[in-house]
Amino acid sequence: MKAVTKIFFLDDQDQKFFGEGPCRLLRGVRETGSLRASAMQMGMSYTKALKLLKNAESALKCPLTMRAAGGKDGGGSSLTPEGEEWLKRYEAYRNACVQANRQLYREFFPEQP
């Protein structure tokens, strides 16, 4: 038996707009410099990745990435300062929640490993 913590955020209409998927997508953008490459690493279509990103940006009311159109020099994406800060805070909050869950699990179910 184990307890699992899943952290996601809902907008004012109670629609999910950010969780592990968008988090992984943004980390991938940071690592690859490309929204398309990040989506491909996740096995996600570019269209779906763009929709997730636009949904999160709409709910947060700020841009999370800067995107440059392709062309002879190629395009790319990078996180905005707001995107970096949001990702940092989300991951810290998620990690704190997971740690608190572990501690509470041990407190309420001490007989479990």
Give residue-wise pLDDT tens across range 67-110.
877 666 667 899 999 999 999 999 999 999 999 999 999 999 99
Give residue-wise pLDDT tens across range 4-13.
999 999 999 9
- Is the C-alpha dihedral spanning 17, 20, 22, 26 positive or negative? positive
- pTM of the complete model beyond 0.85: yes
Q: Which helix (H) or strand (E) holds 15?
A: none
- Please compute, for residue 31, the number of CA atoms within 13 A of its CA located in the half-sphere on the CB side: 12
| DSSP 3-state of 57 | helix
